[in-house]
Amino acid sequence: MKKTLFLLGVAALSLTTSCVSNLGDSYNVNPKLAASASAAGFISNAERTLVRTVNSSSVNLNPLRFYMQYWAATDYPTESRYDLITRNIPLNFWNALYRDCIQDLRAGKNAVATDISIPSDSKTNTLAVAELLEIYAWATLVETFGNVPYTQALDPTNLQPKYDDQATIYADLIARLDAVIGKFDTSKSVGTGVDDLIFPENSGSSTAKWLKFAYAMKLRMALVIADADPTKAKTMAEATAGKLPSSSADAVALAFDRTLPNTNPLYEDLVNSRRSDFVGASTFINPLKGLGSTAGGVPVTGAVDPRLDDYFNPALLPANASNPYVGGTVGRTNNKETLSQPGDKLRSATLPGVLISYAQVELMEAEAIERGFVLGGTAASHYNAGVTASIQEWGGSTADANAYLALPSIAYSTAQGDYKQKIGYQFWVALYNQPTESWTQWRRLDYPQLPLAASPLNGITVIPRRFTYPSSEPNLNPTNYAAAAAALGSTGDNVATKLFWDKF
């Protein structure tokens, strides 16, 4: 990663305002702003921000590893008890996507036309890349909050933007995605070249990979709306047949640098901070050890999942030396020495940050086929391919995957439950290091049926189905905030409120 790109991106952050209802007028003026900047600088910085935001383990930004019960806290369990307010997590997540990602992408689009470093025949592909990333960011906002400012967002002349209806936004994003798919020209390069942080031009046919990303996003969005609009979802999903990522080489991932501040954010939280704030949760570690319960969709395998020793390290001081992988309780304080901490692979500064993995694509195809969508292959063949890809992504072998898939409680034909239970469990395991994505898949499929964290705060009785709006919104944008909260339904701006696509 070129440090010059990061520095350029930092300057870009102040070019225009955020979702301006949260920012004062001082953000509109930057006397040190460069007169012009490259499109690649804006786009690469947006890529970095987007990947870091959805994959972060910072309790100030992204507590979803707690919600999905992958990790438990050691000394400070407040966020694992669903406290979104103390650190203003919704505002931090909101600003990261509005101000620091979408804003940069729009600035990047504006810079493409006059950027002489981008060949004229690559400008359309460059714009398509920025648009695809913006769609991903918008979809994440809608899937996190519900109604959000959209048509009036990011307008420095309107400090109180209205919130748009979530289903309407999502439909528009799908239309935008179809349009961008039609704009990619795989005979031409992407103009950002080696400066692209996800598919740099020297990694091969980057335009073709971006197009596969677009189709993977289309399948993903089809499944998000599948319970709300199955007819539209079927049409969308079937249009992706034969056009999706076909191996781990097509994974949508950003390779981080070895040098701060461009390292993987997990490295910063697990290594550079010199703190030990996280241990594995027993809810997750026990099934990986083969000690699950078929209740709630967690199978008892009687065998160790080959990903266990990649996901976690043995406890430093296990109570039983023959059983060194031990999880803690989500919502409580936990002993960092007697319980298993996140594995060494997660501590690498250069661990890629993933937006869509190949394992995820295969599991999505398995689900789509079970829903009656025609994509080719069988649900079992895609399920097996997804599980195998996940195991191999973490260093396991084909033999490891075959042995795991032969277990009666894991094999697709004999595993207990319907497809939502079988595939939902494997999504949960495979998306261990994609916490935001895991949360969305879990809310869609409702498996596994995770228990509530210990000692939840503020009377919360369910694992959050959405983030509440930033605490600044009732003060800075009161009329539109009140309308948005009312539009969410009788429960309003509450973590228990289900979004339009979350039907069950």
Both tokens of 416, joined, read 């207990």
CA atoms of 178 and 155, how far apart (whole Å): 25
DSSP state, 497?
Answer: P
pLDDT, averaged across the chain? 92
pLDDT (0 to 100) of residue 32: 38
pLDDT(15) > 70? no
Domains in the chain: boundaries: 3-265+349-357
pLDDT tens-digit readout, 49-76: 999 999 999 999 999 999 999 999 999 9
CA atoms of 96 and 105, how far apart (whole Å): 12
Both tokens of 36, joined, read 């012009």
Q: What are the two backbone dihedrals, phi and then psi, of residue 276, each rounded to the nearest 5 degrees?
A: -130, 70
User: Is-contact 108 42, C-beta < 8 A?
Assistant: yes
DSSP state, 352?
Answer: P
pLDDT (0 to 100) of residue 3: 38
Residues above pLDDT 70, as percent of the chain = 92
pTM: 0.93
pLDDT (0 to 100) of residue 37: 77
Mean pLDDT throughout 3-15?
38
Q: DSSP labels for 359-378?
A: HHHHHHHHHHHHTT---SS-
pLDDT (0 to 100) of residue 94: 98
pLDDT (0 to 100) of residue 319: 87
pLDDT (0 to 100) of residue 203: 53
User: Is-contact 16 104, C-beta < 8 A?
Assistant: no
User: Is-contact 153 21, C-beta < 8 A?
Assistant: no
Question: How deeply is 259 buried, as exposed, middle or buried, from its count of CB atoms within 10 A (0-12, 13-18, 19+)?
Answer: exposed
Could you tell me the pLDDT band of residue 295, with boundaries at 50, 70 and 90? Answer: confident
CA atoms of 474 and 482, how far apart (whole Å): 7
Please report, to the nearest 10 degrees, the dihedral formed by the alpha carbons of residues 471, 169, 64, 17 taken in order.
-50
User: Is-contact 132 180, C-beta < 8 A?
Assistant: yes
pLDDT (0 to 100) of residue 204: 52
pLDDT (0 to 100) of residue 36: 61
Could you tell me the pLDDT band of residue 462, with boundaries at 50, 70 and 90? Answer: very high
Smallest CA-to-CA distance from 457 within 76, 49, 14 is with 76
Expressed in percent and rounded to 5, the helix, strand and coil fractions of the chain are 50, 5, 50
* Residue spans of alpha helices (H) in 272-378: 282-288, 308-311, 358-370
Least confident of 99-103, 293-297, 362-366: 293-297
pLDDT(29) > 50? no
User: Is-contact 136 51, C-beta < 8 A?
Assistant: no
User: Is-contact 469 481, C-beta < 8 A?
Assistant: yes
User: Is-contact 270 346, C-beta < 8 A?
Assistant: yes
Mean pLDDT throughout 273-277?
93
Could you tell me the pLDDT band of residue 356, with boundaries at 50, 70 and 90? Answer: very high
pLDDT(272) > 50? yes
User: Is-contact 362 386, C-beta < 8 A?
Assistant: yes
pLDDT(35) > 80? no
Q: Which CATH class is domain 3-265+349-357?
A: mainly alpha
pLDDT tens-digit readout, 197-249: 999 976 557 999 999 999 999 999 999 999 999 999 999 999 999 999 999 99
CA atoms of 102 and 169, how far apart (whole Å): 15
Cα–Cα distances (Å) from 362 to 19, 216, 334, 389, in that order, read 35, 10, 36, 8
Both tokens of 100, joined, read 């620091």
Least confident of 17-31, 110-124, 395-409, 426-440: 17-31
pLDDT tens-digit readout, 315-332: 999 988 888 999 999 999
User: Is-contact 298 279, C-beta < 8 A?
Assistant: no
Could you tell me the pLDDT band of residue 1, with boundaries at 50, 70 and 90? Answer: very low
Residues above pLDDT 90, as percent of the chain = 88
